Structure 1
Amino acid sequence: MAGTIPHKPRILVPEKVSQDGLALLSGEYEVDSRPQGVSPEELLTLISDVDALIVRSETKVTAEVLRAGSRLRVVARAGVGVDNIDVEAATAGGIIVVNSPAGNILAAAEHTVALLLATARNVGRADRITKAGRWERGKLVGVEVGRKTLGIVGLGKVGMKVARMCIGLGMKVIAFDPYANPDLVRQTGVERLVPRLVDMLPEVDFLTIHTPLLASTLDLIGAAEFSLMKPTARVLNVARGGVYNEAALLDALNNGVIAGAGLDVFTKEPPEQNTPAWELVHHEKVISTPHLGASTVEAQENVAVDVCTQVAAVLRGELPTSAVNAPLILPEEYRALKPYAKLIERMGGLYTQHFASPTTPAGIGGRHFELVYHGDLAGVSSSRPLLAALVRGLVSPFSDTGGRHVNIVNATAVAREKGIVIRETHAHSGSATGGEVYASSVTLRALAVPEGTESQQDRDKKDGGDAGSQVIEGYVSGNTAYISRLDRFEASFSPEGTLLILHNHDEPGKIGGVGSVLGRHGVNIRFMQVASLAKRPKSLENGRSEVVVLGARDDTQAMRASSLEEGVKKNGNEALMILGIDGDVGKEVIEDLRTAEGILNVSLVRL
């Protein structure tokens, strides 16, 4: 019998994608390009014999579509966001999801500068008046941007590019970003990082925000923030609709609290009539554009070439450069490590939200960590998925992808960008705490001193076991992850869902008081645990250490001192109250808990 001819892998492109990218695929693969678009019903029919799917923002890649794609190996988003792709369903089906996180950085930064200059010189209003046949120069006097102060919230790739451009325009640039790498910021030429957003607002002449839209950044700038700004200040948004409270911005413009705005994004696009967004679009003090941040010929070409290159790599059995849902290792290896990767990712998210919240000036930028594997886990042949899981967890609370963009391919680069250094230690002991022995357990320790200046044993002797007391320990039972130690407290809880962690004096009545506060706000408690002080921290014994330098820094910031120490000394015993909750927990709930008698600190953690 004659051998069968293998089919050419088939690639479906149900939207308009730059031909520069598709040209990379046309020779080796069968490309079905449909720039006019396809209906959801047509997509379900077409996907059954497709090996790769390349989309932009219009096509909804649902779990149903992914299930119908029995041959599907990779879904590529020609852009940054993957909100239109069910990433969890793709992961469950073994389908790789890739995107192009860097293809439109320059375009977004340039559009920000365009809006800055347009608002400074009243370009939009001048254009409308002139085209209407009126020559009203006296009403259109603008301001120069040179020697003015630009405030940037969020120094990611776009924020950094904006900073460099505006420094080139002769502007003074200051910034707020709890997670920025201070060394990289200084090299960029940013004059300084401010510890709090409110410290910057009275000083700036222009304010631009470059953050993802998360619970912590929704309505980041509202009436209270606008009231702190100069009446001559102007604000810009080429990031996400919702970071400015649109109703508060409209009031600020109408009442002369600020002078103008340049807006490219809105909470709903296009804005609906009779909404604040609609009024902002038509406001004489606003330059408005229809989400053009990434709409350049070059940006569309860049993202298309990027994702098409990655699709070709995946179809050849190679690793992509921007996999959203990696790690990519052999299935049997990943099955063994998957519960521990989940544990370590949750430990990273718990660390960032409990120890290094957005209110902490240092954040995680420039931090050094030690990841200690105990027991059977210490003998793993490749710990790259575990390292990637830690980086993913550390950055997930302030990432619009929830950290899914971090994988074993790009974890090193992400960590280096944040100045994070991670050292692995293989301890070969069972329990990390000296209590019940588990086959495998993990310790995450934030180091208080730069690597190389002290041995772990020296730190243990000096600090009673754990430098700086910022420690999280955990283990896996079955497929369920548990936290066995948090800071100086012994615990036993599963890190999932929404958690409230309260540091309090260990006195009668505290549980009832907390329950009353939450009850008044309609917050339901799923579980509650009181964690007591650990009796005896255990040092590492007979461990072998491997240093994995994932960051670019040679030093580390000193661990923040506990602001709670004085209160603890006055009242003696202390404890942690850990609550799993349902319901909306806003700033008012947190503030009521913080001001309750005997409560030393409160952190809200979402995992």
Structure 2
Amino acid sequence: MARNVAQADALLKRKGVRIVNVARSCVIDEEALIRALDARIVAQAALDVFTEEPPLQENKLVRHEYVTVTPHLGASTTEAQEGVALEIAEAVVGALKGDLATTAVNAPIVPTEVLLELSPYVALTEKLGRLAVQLVAGGSAKQRGLKLTKERIVLDGSPEKPFEFIQVRIANVESKFASAVCDSGEITVDGRVKNGKPHLTKVGSFGVDVSLEGSMILCRQVDQPGIIGKVGSILGEENAKVNFMSVCRIAPRKQAVMAIGVDEEPNRDGLKKIREISAVEEFMFLKL
């Protein structure tokens, strides 16, 4: 830390200078500053830090007619310490609850209104990341290295518009499900914020439009009649609450992907029955 930057020699170099120190007391040589003020070389000074805090009443700087002093609000007053303690506690509680950190160390401070606007897209990115990681579970991403990239599109060409689509790509993976839904062997999941909620819009080569809330069953299947009914009947028999279902296919009678939203994980018997449907080539239960 710099000490005595404003020493006697420095203070004598510019007559009429005005000095403001709200950083650290050690930056200024207080005795040299008093002499410079008395000699009218330094026109005025404003201070909220002193070598001894809180400063004594007999401190010449505190009583000097050309010095403006204010309390060191970051440390000295009881009210300031209580306020700082409350702010820290609220920030820690918010971070533990999963809220966006407004006062993260070594991160730019973002206005509250901007954080509120960005928070749905942060939630979307988190959901897409969880989905992608589960899709490639059991592959060799850990051995080869994990690579995340985000591709964003600005709506209407305006930089002030929020980002609508966020893409998360995990490269260099070897997963049966991932390679099945994407020709390149990479798994790509796309999403958007719809009515303030995160939505999945694409899995590999298959376009869908489903909510990323709760849990999901993702089926890769042969596109043939009756599959939706069979899966739905099994879930109904197991008393599993279905909140959405979406099916996308490459072409008629070829491969399709079915996404089913459920409130909780079906029991093992129900999952086994779905797996035994001949047209279902693979399926996964995903916790979002």
1:440 aligned to 2:164? yes
Q: Say if 2:132 is the partner of 1:347.
A: no
Q: Which residue of 2 aligns with 1:603?
A: 284
| Equivalence map 1:317-396=2 (5 Å) | 319=105, 329-353=110-134, 355-357=135-137, 360-362=138-140, 366-376=145-155
Distance 1:368 1:318, change over 3 A: closer
Summarize the alignment of residues 455-494 of structure 1 with structure 2, pairs less than 5 Å apart: 467-468=184-185, 470-494=187-211
Instruction: Report if the CA contact (8 A) 2:214-2:264 is conserved.
Output: no
Contact 2:215-2:265 at 8 Å conserved across structures: no
Equivalent AA in structure 1 for residue 198 of structure 2: A
Per-residue CA deviations over 1:361-383 (Å, capped at 9, x if unaligned) read 425561223321122499879xx
Query: Which amino acid counterpart does residue 362 of structure 1 have in structure 2?
Result: S
Q: CA deviation at 1:439?
A: 6.7
Quickly say closer, same or farther: Cα 1:515–1:478, change in 2 above 3 A.
closer
Structure 2 CA distance for aligned equivalents of residues 511 and 318 of structure 1: 47
Q: Is the 8 A contact 1:472 1:485 kept in 2?
A: yes
SS at match of 1:585: coil
Higher strand proportion, which one? 2
Any conservation in 2 of the 1:443–1:473 contact (CA below 8 Å)?
yes
Q: Distance in 1 between matches of 2:126 and 2:238?
A: 31
Distance between the aligned counterparts of 1:468 and 1:502, measured in 2? 18
Separation in 2 of the partners of 1:467 and 1:370? 16
Measure the CA separation in 1 of the matches of 2:142 and 2:108.
Answer: 23
Corresponding letter in the other structure for 1:339: P
2:231 pairs with 1:578: no
Residue matched to 2:55: none
Q: What's the offset of the Cα at 1:501?
A: 0.8
- Given the two structures, how large is their TM-score scaled by the length of structure 1? 0.30
Give the match for residue 590 of structure 1.
271
1:277-356 alignment to 2 at 5 Å?
A: 319=105, 329-353=110-134, 355-356=135-136
1:87 aligns with 2:92: no
Distance 2:163 2:90 in 1: 38
Following the alignment from structure 2 to structure 1, what is the Cα–Cα distance between the partners of residues 260 and 201? 15
What is the deviation of 1:576?
A: 1.3
Taking structure 1 as reference, are residues 364 and 529 closer, same or farther at Cα in structure 2, changes over 3 Å only?
farther
Structure 2 gap ranges (5+): 1-68, 174-181
Tell me the distance in 2 between the aligned counterparts of 1:74 and 1:378: 40
RMSD of aligned C-alpha atoms? 4.1
Q: Please tell me the residue identity of whatever aligns with 2:89.
A: V
Tell me which amino acid in the other structure corresponds to 2:238.
Answer: H
| Displacement after TM superposition at 1:497 (Å) | 0.6
Q: What secondary structure does 1:468 align onto?
A: coil
Q: Kindly provide the CA deviation profile for residues 514-543 of structure 1, in whole angstroms up to 9, marking residues without a partner as x.
A: 12222232212111111223x8xxxxxxxx
- The equivalent residue for 2:23 is none
Equivalence for 1:556:
none
Counterpart Cα distance in 1 of 2:287 and 2:230: 23
User: Does residue 1:529 correspond to 2:237, yes or no?
Assistant: no
Specify the SS of the correspondent of 1:583: coil
For 1:163-562, list aligned pairs within 5 A: 319=105, 329-353=110-134, 355-357=135-137, 360-362=138-140, 366-376=145-155, 440-448=164-172, 467-468=184-185, 470-533=187-250
- CA offsets per residue over residues 422-464 of structure 1, 9 Å max, x none? xxxxxxxx9xxxxxxx973222233349xxxxxxxxxxxxxxx
Larger Rg: 2
Task: Indicate the percent of aligned positions where both proteins have the same amino acid.
Answer: 21
The TM-score with structure 2 as length reference comes to 0.58
User: For 1:581 and 1:530, how far apart are their aligned partners in 2?
Assistant: 15
> 1:137-156 residue pairs with structure 2 within 5 A?
none
Local SS of the residue matching 2:119: helix
> Match of 2:132, as an amino acid?
Y
